[in-house]
Amino acid sequence: MYHHIKKLMYTVHVDSPDPRFGKMLLEQFGGANGELAAAMQYSIQGLNCEDPARKDLLMDIGTEELSHLEVVGALARLHLKPMKKSRSAGEADPLIAIAGGGGVGLLNSMGNPWTADYLKITGELDVDLRSNIAAEARAKIVYERLINFTDDKGTIDALQFLMTREITHMKAFILALDSMKKNPLEIGKIPPSPGLVNQYFNDSTGKGDYGDDDMRGPWNQGGDWAYVNAPAFQEFENAKEGTRTSNGASGQEELAGPGRSRRT
Amino acid sequence: MYHHIKKLMYTVHVDSPDPRFGKMLLEQFGGANGELAAAMQYSIQGLNCEDPARKDLLMDIGTEELSHLEVVGALARLHLKPMKKSRSAGEADPLIAIAGGGGVGLLNSMGNPWTADYLKITGELDVDLRSNIAAEARAKIVYERLINFTDDKGTIDALQFLMTREITHMKAFILALDSMKKNPLEIGKIPPSPGLVNQYFNDSTGKGDYGDDDMRGPWNQGGDWAYVNAPAFQEFENAKEGTRTSNGASGQEELAGPGRSRRT
Amino acid sequence: MYHHIKKLMYTVHVDSPDPRFGKMLLEQFGGANGELAAAMQYSIQGLNCEDPARKDLLMDIGTEELSHLEVVGALARLHLKPMKKSRSAGEADPLIAIAGGGGVGLLNSMGNPWTADYLKITGELDVDLRSNIAAEARAKIVYERLINFTDDKGTIDALQFLMTREITHMKAFILALDSMKKNPLEIGKIPPSPGLVNQYFNDSTGKGDYGDDDMRGPWNQGGDWAYVNAPAFQEFENAKEGTRTSNGASGQEELAGPGRSRRT
Amino acid sequence: MYHHIKKLMYTVHVDSPDPRFGKMLLEQFGGANGELAAAMQYSIQGLNCEDPARKDLLMDIGTEELSHLEVVGALARLHLKPMKKSRSAGEADPLIAIAGGGGVGLLNSMGNPWTADYLKITGELDVDLRSNIAAEARAKIVYERLINFTDDKGTIDALQFLMTREITHMKAFILALDSMKKNPLEIGKIPPSPGLVNQYFNDSTGKGDYGDDDMRGPWNQGGDWAYVNAPAFQEFENAKEGTRTSNGASGQEELAGPGRSRRT
Amino acid sequence: MYHHIKKLMYTVHVDSPDPRFGKMLLEQFGGANGELAAAMQYSIQGLNCEDPARKDLLMDIGTEELSHLEVVGALARLHLKPMKKSRSAGEADPLIAIAGGGGVGLLNSMGNPWTADYLKITGELDVDLRSNIAAEARAKIVYERLINFTDDKGTIDALQFLMTREITHMKAFILALDSMKKNPLEIGKIPPSPGLVNQYFNDSTGKGDYGDDDMRGPWNQGGDWAYVNAPAFQEFENAKEGTRTSNGASGQEELAGPGRSRRT
Amino acid sequence: MYHHIKKLMYTVHVDSPDPRFGKMLLEQFGGANGELAAAMQYSIQGLNCEDPARKDLLMDIGTEELSHLEVVGALARLHLKPMKKSRSAGEADPLIAIAGGGGVGLLNSMGNPWTADYLKITGELDVDLRSNIAAEARAKIVYERLINFTDDKGTIDALQFLMTREITHMKAFILALDSMKKNPLEIGKIPPSPGLVNQYFNDSTGKGDYGDDDMRGPWNQGGDWAYVNAPAFQEFENAKEGTRTSNGASGQEELAGPGRSRRT
């Protein structure tokens, strides 16, 4: 059950309303990484969650994001209001000016309606927490960019508040995931195929417009990694080898194609 | 530049075509966590990326996902084909049967057209890698669920191959992020507000339908955490206290409100 | 600012989970006339509203709808849960079963993602109240139909609660509009053209598949109504009459074409 | 069956083409409250309608809206045409300039494609009429705002014509609804729960950023209203009271929680 | 200006209402290749068209499609009506049953809302005619598939009528295009680059799952065709060769790369 | 299986980055007629295709379009990059500037997310080829318009390359269709009704705003054409004639209504 208090979580002041910046701000009101997306993603994950402790966490943060939605909306409205009357301002976003009368709508910065396609909800708790960590990271960088696009002191203060809270949430989600003590690569219950899982496919090769030779790093060398060079080229060079099947692979380093790996 | 080899990355066999399962499979063809979403997310991140090493990684995996798209499509097509002729099969997904002639389309399992709203691309490399780690975790769990919904041996083999590769990619993205050696909570350049960032807001309270008292865990106690109880209730109890501002917070554990408001 | 209490506004019980009915229920969770649509429409109207009394009304009801969203979600989840494991259940909505793990998502009954295109927000208070009256009427009839599609006692009880509240809200919105004491046809500030506004255009004529002759009623006869018969036919029969302009019309009953009406 | 006459319902003249205003005009061509939305909403309601008299009304007005679509399109085209050649004009809406060659498309003022999600069609006649009344009110205010954004005499004349017709339609729909002689709160056949229906929930409380104390008016006091103060707070203060159920409520003014109401 | 006659262009009879077939029929009501898409594509092209003769053609056919929309809607409604009451029928499309009360909506066969993204309108007359020819071909095949999914005599008669008209329209559009006497490959005014335009890029190679060796036909051999084998492989084999530019191509058969790169 | 080479198919140079032109360019990256649409349309048609020769063609061109997507993306990125820092540039497309950090996204020129609704895939080979011919014609004209909106030499070179390739593809698709040696009007297997198919319905009549009298041309006179004047008017003048049925029509020129045609 929800209750609303007639006070913003962070009081907003705007010295110089700037409709074009107000339009940018809508990105965090009705945009893909905005506050409604956060509120809905966490609250609905919470509704589905059967771990009472992390369900509480999801509801805590989901509810806070609703309060943030209200703060961003109040801030955006102060910037957008001149759109109702000023022609040059209205031209910047006629959807706000003409259809919305200068008020906020559930739109992103280019007038796209908010859609639940923005949400990532799987019902698998550790997976959902990973989606949330990424979502908070995205929201943080978007607030940072917004701060860099304005000089209005009051606006910056409010955005700094909201940006800070995203880091708070990110920290909480990371700790909630860590405390599940799962191996990061153990998602769900069915294990991956052991030979195949360590093969790195070098599917983009060559040198040229894009920079140097193939790049190596911890993500494709060392540890258990087997490096499979240009799997498609191998096929091209030896097109009669026969199709790949799920049996018979050996998985030797630098030689194995993916198809030769055996599922066991 | 892309080249296509007329061979699947994993050869598919289907013993018993099952149109209703084929429809489910479309979730990984044209769905939110499916192979086109993965291919586009990584490839476009790669196009924008200015770190040559991780750009190569993004293009490698983005390209592999295109090959997966082809595998899932070939597999789904084998299952869906009876839809063209069988009335009972066609009724399960008339969009495939009537508009698509029993072939695959870029749709999810409920017939929604694929949309770029599924993608998470910010142009901030560490943030994008976090989005990718989460995306791979989601794709893995979706493949696992698909495996649990079929008994067809050939289908399971192909799904096991694809599922395994998601873990491979997840591993690579985690290592690519780790090797950037960034503090996980340092996103972008503007630091969060130091007093505020450690305040956990307990915005969902009570006991009842949803389980027990407020739950505590590493995500809201210990370390630097300050626990702010029911910020909105505080306001309700003391509605005349000044509004919150960005300066002056004390951040004392259990006492501080998000700004400087004190509960009592 | 929002606060969440860990208790549903209406406790839900389900005796016989029915995944296909659960899917229907999603219409009121993530559908066009569902609870999120209501919550967002009223809350955002409230955010934009400058009449303090009716702003409070909009926030009161907007907040209640968030609590309803939670009730519908909890109820739908009980019905949908078998989708995670049962193949026949999962086939009914693979988006829930496969992508969502048997939990609720912000989807309608056919799996379409919720979109802000469902909302009607103009920032003109009396107009918004009219949109809300209509929205409540739609929500009421949808709940009624849902009740007619189930025999589950606990489900019916919860739907009866929710359905009743829609009438409550409809009543409140009607009274809020009435108390503005505006002439129902005075929308905004620019008056309509007096001669033209009372002309009823009979644009659909004939007798046949669709029923009888042209129908008359208070909506096109009596009072100030002038009845303009088949404006397009008039043109066809007399194609050389000058084009319609904004001056020169007389508006005589049964004779006047719309173009002859004078704007004064 | 439809027939088209090669004459506009209102002849349009534009003295000074203004591409940015043309873009605004698209809001009434392919926007949420525009002429196609009106035409489709009424015509499809008419197709489903079994009351021959009001079916005729719906077809009359639905058809007129098609003629309006043509007028708005012709007017917008005159304004947009310079987009094909002028760079500064084209930049204002590249979708029109580049993809559309300077012609109109079924887009709103921000380039969003028209979608049937804009429509409100329930098949319940009185409910549909309410949706139509609200739709006409919205269309009227949008035309008024457009008039306020231009000085072009010919454009204003055409918009005045179209705006006037929305009031005509609104009047007709109101009279068609009134003549059904239904109690406005009797929607469908299942009655609301009598105790509960008159409870107003004060879900937004406090004093502060948002204005004064809780506001009272005919929509929550007087008549049959029972005023339930902060239902969630009640729960919070007495969390052990037990969950709400559908039986046992008394409904006393100022005391009753919603759950205590009895369904009879 | 439009006029509506209360008679269907083709009278519909249904002997055995079949809600699941009714759902399929919606594909031609509110689907991608359905009647509204056709009506809007041609009518809006017509609105933008400056060739008076073909403008008339576009309006003729655009208007006929509106009449077809009405026929399909009337037919679908007869099939869908049982959804309002029957649970098993309603489960097949709860969006129709619950939200729509068993009436038609502007949805496709899987419940997706109609969107203007279905339309192809460029304002270049010959290009638009090509889009229309393709659109009619698609509509024809969809009607044929619908006919194959039903045994109901009255339904087949109506679909045969509608299917036939698509061929009529296709014929008219082909003749309208032919009579423009344009070289089919002369689109717009800027000519293609002469050397490059005749190079066929063999970008998909190999032998295997997909069938035989590279296939040749009139589309890549004979005439002016130069066959460029695996442009990307060439690059791979000789990665240091200069980048491709727009000058210097020789275009020799079997030798030329797309720019000036030579296969070696 | 796909392979990626780290070299663009056409090297791009930009002398003067122009963010507003970059935004226009996105039309061919993530727009309705852009390169991803082409790549997906052909590749998925290819996946479904059972004619090995034309399947190869579809995969060849589908793969080339992926390389074009990369070229357009690289070009657009060069133009858009200033959006990350410049306020005036960022205001032109905040979705790119704020959410995307100045990189490309899968959006069209007005920020709409790419959607599979752009695709035309029926699984009927000749129909799909027609859709592809039209798609290439559209893409060509869009590139031409883009060329007309820039003076940047490097940009024009790259667009000229891409534009040329669309004509190459159009030529290949036309030849692939021609070589099927089908009568252009024989789509699918069910023949149209012979009397009805040659009736041209003159559904838009009159003289006035829209130009002259009804226009005649090869698309409605000569050959087998029967010209049916204003079918709806005929009905209007003789409303008691009885409904149209599928039997009994004679199809005489200038007299026959469509309903009188006989299906045989």
Per-residue pLDDT averaged across B207-225, rounded?
A: 82
pLDDT at residue A249 is higher than 70:
no
- CA–CA gap between residue B77 and residue F57 (Å, rounded): 20
Closest partner CB to F6 (pick from A141, A146, A209): A209
Nearest chain F Cα to A143, which residue?
F98
Amino acid identity, position A18? D
- Give the β-pairing of E199-202 and E226-229: parallel
Question: For residue F229, which phi and psi values (nearest 5 degrees)?
Answer: -85, 120
Tally C-beta pairs within 8 A across D and F: 87
- CA–CA gap between residue A257 and residue A251 (Å, rounded): 7
In tens, the pLDDT along D14-73 reads: 999 999 999 999 999 999 999 999 999 999 999 999 999 999 999 999 999 999 999 999
Suggest the residue from E6, E35, E56 to mutate for an interface test with chain F (most F CBs closer than 10 A): E56
- Angle formed by the axes of helices C52-80 and C153-178, nearest 10°: 160
- CA–CA gap between residue F245 and residue C145 (Å, rounded): 36
Closest partner CB to B204 (pick from C6, C91, C111): C6
Q: Please give the C-alpha separations between residue D230 and each of A149, C64, D216, D254, in angstroms, as whole numbers.
A: 40, 10, 14, 10
Given a contact as 3+ CB pairs under 8 Å, which chains touch B? A, C, D, E, F
Taking an 8 Å cut-off on Cβ atoms, the answer to whether A236 and E206 are in contact is: yes
> Residue E214: which pLDDT band, with cuts at 50, 70 and 90?
confident
Per-residue pLDDT averaged across D185-202, rounded?
A: 96
Q: Which two tokens stand for residue C234?
A: 């008039």
Asked which of A146-150, D55-59, E255-259 is least confident by mean pLDDT, the reply is E255-259
- From the list F199, F262, F208, F207, the residue with the least C-alpha distance to F231 is F199
Closest partner CB to C193 (pick from D133, D160, D203): D160
**Min distance E120 CA to chain D CA atoms (Å):** 9
Contact E214, E242 (CB under 8 A): no
Per-residue pLDDT averaged across D216-239, rounded?
A: 81
Per-residue pLDDT averaged across B91-102, rounded?
A: 94
Taking an 8 Å cut-off on Cβ atoms, the answer to whether A219 and B176 are in contact is: yes
Contact D253, D227 (CB under 8 A): yes
> Length of chain C in residues, anyone?
264
Tally C-beta pairs within 8 A across A and C: 136
Q: What angle do CA F156, F162, F168 make, to 5 degrees?
A: 135
**Min distance C181 CA to chain D CA atoms (Å):** 12
Contacts of D58 (CB under 8 A, 6+ apart): D42, D43, D45, D46, D49
- CA–CA gap between residue F17 and residue F22 (Å, rounded): 8
Closest partner CB to E232 (pick from B2, B91, B98): B2
In tens, the pLDDT along C159-200 reads: 999 999 999 999 999 999 999 999 999 999 999 999 899 999
Local structure of residue D96 (DSSP, 8 states): I
Residue E207: what pLDDT?
Answer: 75
Per-residue pLDDT averaged across A83-104, rounded?
A: 93
Question: For residue F208, which phi and psi values (nearest 5 degrees)?
Answer: 160, -125
Asked which of C86-95, E152-161, F209-218 is least confident by mean pLDDT, the reply is F209-218
Q: Which two tokens stand for residue C27?
A: 């219409």
Question: For residue D220, which phi and psi values (nearest 5 degrees)?
Answer: -150, 10
In tens, the pLDDT along A168-190 reads: 999 999 999 999 999 999 999 99
Nearest chain B Cα to E210, which residue?
B6
**Min distance A87 CA to chain D CA atoms (Å):** 6
pLDDT at residue D250 is higher than 70:
no
Taking an 8 Å cut-off on Cβ atoms, the answer to whether C209 and E4 are in contact is: no
Strand partners, E205: B5
Nearest chain F Cα to A107, which residue?
F95
Which stretch of DSSP H or E encloses residue F199? strand F199-202
**Min distance A5 CA to chain F CA atoms (Å):** 31
Helix boundaries (H) for E49-124: 52-80, 87-92, 94
Closest partner CB to F263 (pick from E157, E165, E232): E157
Q: What is the dihedral of CA D115, D121, D122, D127, to 10 degrees?
A: 130
Residue C207: what pLDDT?
Answer: 75
In tens, the pLDDT along B6-31 reads: 999 999 999 999 999 999 999 999 99
Contact A55, A176 (CB under 8 A): no
Q: Which two tokens stand for residue F106?
A: 């899968």
pLDDT at residue A235 is higher than 60:
no
- CA–CA gap between residue B166 and residue A10 (Å, rounded): 41
Q: Which two tokens stand for residue B60?
A: 């490698």
**Min distance F143 CA to chain A CA atoms (Å):** 23
pLDDT at residue D194 is higher than 90:
yes
Average pLDDT of the residues of chain B: 88
Residue F185 CB-density burial (10 A; 0-12 exposed, 13-18 middle, 19+ buried): middle
Asked which of D40-49, D56-65, D132-141, E198-207 is least confident by mean pLDDT, the reply is E198-207
Contacts of A185 (CB under 8 A, 6+ apart): A192, B167, B170, B171, B174
Taking an 8 Å cut-off on Cβ atoms, the answer to whether F149 and D98 are in contact is: yes
pLDDT at residue C209 is higher than 80:
no
**Min distance B181 CA to chain F CA atoms (Å):** 22
Tally C-beta pairs within 8 A across A and F: 85
Determine how many CB atoms are found less than 10 A away from the CB of residue A73: 29
Which stretch of DSSP H or E encloses residue D74? helix D52-80
Determine how many CB atoms are found less than 10 A away from the CB of residue A262: 15
Determine how many CB atoms are found less than 10 A away from the CB of residue D239: 16
pLDDT at residue A83 is higher than 50:
yes
Q: Please give the C-alpha separations between residue E220 and each of D53, F57, F177, in angstroms, as whole numbers.
A: 63, 9, 13
Contact B207, C6 (CB under 8 A): yes
pLDDT at residue C145 is higher than 90:
yes
- CA–CA gap between residue A160 and residue B93 (Å, rounded): 48
- Give the β-pairing of E199-202 and D226-229: unpaired
Name chain F contacts of A204, Cβ cutoff 8 Å.
Answer: 3-6
Name chain B contacts of A201, Cβ cutoff 8 Å.
Answer: 60, 64
Residue D207: what pLDDT?
Answer: 75
Given a contact as 3+ CB pairs under 8 Å, which chains touch A? B, C, D, E, F
Residue B252: what pLDDT?
Answer: 32
Local structure of residue E114 (DSSP, 8 states): P
Taking an 8 Å cut-off on Cβ atoms, the answer to whether B67 and F124 are in contact is: no
Q: What is the dihedral of CA B38, B39, B42, B44, to 10 degrees?
A: -130
Determine how many CB atoms are found less than 10 A away from the CB of residue A247: 11
Closest partner CB to B67 (pick from F2, F9, F121): F2
Per-residue pLDDT averaged across F234-263, rounded?
A: 38
- Give the β-pairing of A226-229 and B199-202: unpaired
- CA–CA gap between residue E110 and residue E104 (Å, rounded): 13
**DSSP, residue by residue, A88-153:** HHHHH-HIIIIISTTS--SB-TTSPBPBGGG----S-HHHHHHHHHHHHHHHHHHHHHHHHT---H
- CA–CA gap between residue F148 and residue A199 (Å, rounded): 48
Contact B96, B20 (CB under 8 A): no
Residue A188 CB-density burial (10 A; 0-12 exposed, 13-18 middle, 19+ buried): buried
Suggest the residue from F54, F60, F262 to mutate for an interface test with chain E (most E CBs closer than 10 A): F60
> What pTM did the predictor assign?
0.93
Contact A134, F82 (CB under 8 A): no
Residue C212: what pLDDT?
Answer: 62
Taking an 8 Å cut-off on Cβ atoms, the answer to whether C77 and A48 are in contact is: yes
> Residue E111: which pLDDT band, with cuts at 50, 70 and 90?
very high
Taking an 8 Å cut-off on Cβ atoms, the answer to whether D175 and C218 are in contact is: yes
* Interface residues of chain C, partner chain E, Cβ below 8 Å: 20, 23-24, 27, 31-33, 92, 108-112, 141-142, 145-146, 149, 203-211, 230-233, 235
Nearest chain C Cα to A30, which residue?
C116
- CA–CA gap between residue F35 and residue F75 (Å, rounded): 13
Taking an 8 Å cut-off on Cβ atoms, the answer to whether C203 and D59 are in contact is: yes
Helix boundaries (H) for chain C: 19-25, 27-30, 35-48, 52-80, 87-92, 94, 125-148, 153-178, 194-197, 231-237
In tens, the pLDDT along E36-76 reads: 999 999 999 999 999 999 999 999 999 999 999 999 999 99
Residue E232: what pLDDT?
Answer: 86
Nearest chain C Cα to D157, which residue?
C246
Name chain E contacts of C109, Cβ cutoff 8 Å.
Answer: 94-95, 98-99, 111
Residue E58: what pLDDT?
Answer: 98
Determine how many CB atoms are found less than 10 A away from the CB of residue A142: 30
pLDDT at residue E259 is higher than 50:
no
Residue B199: what pLDDT?
Answer: 96
Taking an 8 Å cut-off on Cβ atoms, the answer to whether F2 and A109 are in contact is: no
Question: For residue F154, which phi and psi values (nearest 5 degrees)?
Answer: -65, -40
**Min distance C190 CA to chain E CA atoms (Å):** 26
Residue C214: what pLDDT?
Answer: 83
Determine how many CB atoms are found less than 10 A away from the CB of residue B50: 10
- From the list B96, B115, B104, B113, the residue with the least C-alpha distance to B37 is B115
End-to-end CA distance of chain D: give it in Å, rounded. 49
Suggest the residue from F126, F163, F167 to mutate for an interface test with chain E (most E CBs closer than 10 A): F167
Given a contact as 3+ CB pairs under 8 Å, which chains touch D? A, B, C, E, F
- From the list F241, E7, D49, F244, the residue with the least C-alpha distance to C213 is E7
Per-residue pLDDT averaged across E23-47, rounded?
A: 98
Give the rounded percent of residues in chain E with a pLDDT score beyond 70.
86
> Residue D166: which pLDDT band, with cuts at 50, 70 and 90?
very high
- CA–CA gap between residue D174 and residue C218 (Å, rounded): 10
- From the list C168, C79, B211, the residue with the least C-alpha distance to D261 is C168
Closest partner CB to E208 (pick from A207, A208, A243): A243
* Per-residue 3-state assignment (H helix, E strand, C coil) for chain B: CEEEECCCCCCCCCCCCCHHHHHHHCHHHHCCCCHHHHHHHHHHHHHHCCCHHHHHHHHHHHHHHHHHHHHHHHHHHHHHHHHHCCHHHHHHCHHHHHHCCCCCCCECCCCCECEHHHCCCCCCHHHHHHHHHHHHHHHHHHHHHHHHCCCCHHHHHHHHHHHHHHHHHHHHHHHHHHCCCCCCCCCCCCCCCHHHHCEEEECEECCECCECCCCCCCCCCCCCCEEEECHHHHHHHCCCCCCCCCCCCCCCCCCECCCCCECC
In tens, the pLDDT along C66-96 reads: 999 999 999 999 999 999 989 989 988 999 9
pLDDT at residue F74 is higher than 60:
yes
Residue B49 CB-density burial (10 A; 0-12 exposed, 13-18 middle, 19+ buried): buried
Suggest the residue from F5, F47, F84 to mutate for an interface test with chain B (most B CBs closer than 10 A): F47
- CA–CA gap between residue B6 and residue B13 (Å, rounded): 17
Per-residue pLDDT averaged across B250-259, rounded?
A: 36
Name chain E contacts of F47, Cβ cutoff 8 Å.
Answer: none
Taking an 8 Å cut-off on Cβ atoms, the answer to whether A239 and E209 are in contact is: no
